[in-house]
Amino acid sequence: MTQINVQFSVAAHVMAALATHHGTPVRSAELAGSVNADASFVRRVVSKLAKAGLVATTRGKSGACTLARDPAQITLLDVYRASQAPAAFAVHAYPTQENCQVSRTIKGGMEQLLQRVQCDFEHSLAQNTLADFAASLQLAA
């Protein structure tokens, strides 16, 4: 069964939520409520964002987080890389059937194709700021 990775979409959700509160600290419990996900998972995502310098956090009973930079200075590529999400696509690991021309060559061809697609995907993310993304959600950033 294929496992879906949601780290980037959750990181983007967290960042959009923080953009709506830009300058005001937000507790991880509130972010988890917005995502509707387990608070410990959201805290792990926030930790990655903080490690990347996108989010500033305070610990303790009144701990919370804020954006570390203006939303217009953060790209979605920054968020994607900080989330440590895997590449969007991957080549299957099934063994090669040597008596089949397609089987012998498919992995190399797919790797080249998927590298170009990943590059295009990342280029597109780099062209979009968190402020743009938040605005597209009709949020005040």
CA distance 19 to 94: 43
φ, ψ for residue 110 (rounded to 5)?
-65, -40
| pLDDT exceeds cutoff 60 at 84 | yes
- pLDDT value for 140: 47
Average pLDDT of every residue of the chain: 90
- Report which secondary-structure segment, H or E, holds 67: strand 64-67
| pLDDT exceeds cutoff 60 at 1 | no
- pLDDT value for 3: 63
Ordered structural domains, the chain, with CATH: 7-136 (1.10.10.10)
The amino acid present at 112, given as its one-letter code, is: Q
How much is the average pLDDT of 71-97? Answer: 91
Query: Which residue pairs, CB below 8 angstroms and at least 24 apart, start in 41-45?
Result: 41/10, 42/10, 42/14, 45/7, 45/10, 45/11, 45/14, 45/83
| pLDDT exceeds cutoff 50 at 141 | no
Predicted TM-score (pTM) of the model is: 0.86
How much is the average pLDDT of 7-11? Answer: 94
Q: What is the pLDDT of residues 33-68, one digit of tens each?
A: 999 999 899 999 999 999 999 999 998 777 799 999
CA distance 80 to 76: 6
